[in-house]
């Protein structure tokens, strides 16, 4: 994350670069609000949201089947900058593949969900050795987890489970991106997650912003971390002056 800036009022303004997908963006906004220790409206942080669902699919691009989303991501970031954002967050794990380019192209710093996730695991789960990740195929192919979570052994679903369970739960006809949060995507994700636990994962990461929308507390016998919840808390801390 590069240097910091503040608005003319001296307050930090969080810019959410969203739309990937819209429901995940709305859920992240709610997580930021819930993470804020506030007794009245004025205790909350200033938030700007650019929810642009026209940004090309990140997984499709990484797999070589779709256009580069970076120009649209930069354009969305410029809109946030023009509106006064002083720090950014992206409620899409796969879009972090372009984080370095966004940080270089835009005038405000970005908080990284991967960097914040690593901090949280070190502080709250020091005994964790093996991390099971439920994520899109794009995030997996991009090597984002191995790049950022180097202190742990990372387990992904095998190819069959990734296609039949994880990607179907997110992208399928009855998947989360189609507006379904019910039993079907939850069943698929539980099957994939339990297979990772059986292989030795002592911590699971809900590594796609849509996945926590379907899972429920207690779905697994090991802890499950939601990177977006971690990022939301970090954003609130940053904007309230708790982070340099």
Return the CATH number at 76. 3.40.50.1860
- 3 within some domain: no
Nearest residue to 44 (alpha-carbon basis) of 12, 18, 76: 12
Which residues are registered as beta bridge partners of 110? 88
Examine the domain organization and report whether 100 and 133 are in the same domain: no
- pLDDT beyond 70 at 4: no
The tokens describing 2, both together, are 């590069």
Q: Are residues 58 and 73 in contact, defined by beta-carbon separation less than 8 angstroms?
A: no
Q: Which one of the listed residues 20, 85, 92, 169 is annotated catalytic?
A: 92
190 and 179 share one domain = yes
**What is the average per-residue pLDDT within 12-36?**
95
162 and 99 in a single domain? The answer is: no
Assign 7 to helix, strand or coil. coil
**208 in active site:** yes
Q: Is residue 51 part of a domain?
A: yes
Higher-scoring residue by pLDDT: 210, 236:
236
Shared domain for 96 and 126, answered yes or no, is no
Residue 3 has pLDDT above 50, yes or no: no
Given a cut of 90, whether residue 21 has pLDDT beyond it is no
Task: State the residue range of the domain holding 135.
Answer: 114-226
Domain identity same for 65 and 164: no
User: 128 and 106 share a domain?
Assistant: no
Q: Do residues 222 and 119 share a domain?
A: yes
Do 58 and 86 sit in the same domain of this protein? yes
Residue 123 lies in a domain: yes
The reply to whether 118 and 105 lie within a common domain is no
Q: Residue 149 pLDDT > 90, yes or no?
A: yes
Query: Residues 33, 94: one domain?
Result: yes
Number of independent structural domains in the chain: 2
**Predicted confidence (pLDDT) at residue 7 exceeds the cutoff of 70:** no
Give a yes or no: residue 5 inside a domain.
Answer: no
Provide long-range contacts, Cβ within 8 A and 24+ apart, for 34-41: 34/232, 35/229, 35/232, 35/233, 35/235, 35/236, 36/236, 36/240
Distances (CA, A) of 220 to 78, 146, 156, 189, 202: 40, 23, 16, 10, 10
Check if the beta carbon of residue 8 is closer than 8 Å to that of residue 80.
no
Q: Tell me the average pLDDT across 17-28.
A: 93
Active-site residue 239, yes or no? no
Query: Is the separation of the CB atoms in 134 and 193 below 8 Å?
Result: yes
Residue 148 to residues 121, 130, 213, 238: CA-CA distances in angstroms? 12, 14, 24, 20
- Flag whether pLDDT at 2 surpasses 90: no
Highest mean pLDDT among 2-6, 107-111, 238-242: 107-111
**7 falls within a domain:** no
Q: What phi and psi values does residue 190 have, to the nearest 5 degrees?
A: -65, -40
Residue 8 is predicted with a pLDDT of 56
Distance, in Å, from the CA atom of 82 to the CA atom of 79, rounded to the nearest integer, reads 5
Q: Are 14 and 77 in contact (CB under 8 A)?
A: no
How sure is the predictor about 124, in pLDDT bands with cuts at 50, 70 and 90? very high
d(CA 23, CA 91): 10
Could you give the CA distance from residue 27 to residue 7 in angstroms, rounded to a whole number?
A: 25
Q: Which of the four pLDDT bands, split at 50, 70 and 90, describes residue 54?
A: very high
Identify whether residues 125 and 222 lie together within a single domain. yes
- Predicted pLDDT at 1: 43
Provide, rounded to the nearest whole percent, the portion of the chain with pLDDT above 90: 83
**Annotated catalytic residue, options 93, 169, 208, 215:** 208
Report residue 132: phi and psi, to 5°: -95, 130
Q: Kindly state whether residues 131 and 44 are assigned to the same domain.
A: no
The answer as to whether 8 is a domain residue is: no
Confidence of residue 6 (pLDDT cuts 50, 70, 90): low
Residue 2, domain member (yes or no)? no
């Amino acid at each position: 994350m590069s240097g910091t800036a503040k608005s003319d009022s001296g307050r930090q303004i969080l810019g959410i670069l969203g739309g990937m997908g819209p429901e995940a963006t709305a859920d992240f906004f709610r997580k930021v609000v819930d993470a804020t220790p506030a007794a009245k409206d004025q205790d909350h942080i200033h938030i700007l949201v650019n929810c642009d669902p026209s940004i090309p699919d990140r997984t499709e691009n990484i797999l070589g089947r779709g256009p580069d989303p970076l120009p649209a991501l930069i354009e969305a970031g410029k809109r946030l900058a023009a509106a006064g954002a002083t720090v950014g967050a992206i409620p899409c794990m796969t879009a972090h593949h372009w984080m370095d380019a966004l940080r270089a192209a835009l005038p405000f710093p970005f908080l990284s969900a991967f960097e914040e996730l690593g901090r949280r695991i070190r502080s709250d789960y020091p005994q964790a050795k093996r991390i099971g990740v439920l994520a899109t195929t794009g995030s997996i192919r991009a090597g984002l987890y191995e790049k950022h979570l180097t202190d742990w052994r990372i387990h992904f679903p095998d190819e069959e489970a990734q296609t039949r369970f994880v990607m179907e739960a997110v992208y399928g006809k009855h998947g989360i991106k189609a507006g379904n949060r019910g039993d079907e995507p939850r069943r698929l994700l539980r099957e994939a997650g339990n297979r990772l636990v059986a292989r030795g994962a002592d911590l699971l990461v809900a590594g796609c912003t849509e996945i926590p929308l379907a899972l429920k507390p207690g779905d697994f016998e090991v802890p499950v971390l939601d990177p977006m919840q971690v990022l939301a808390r970090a954003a609130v801390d940053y904007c309230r002056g708790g982070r340099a």
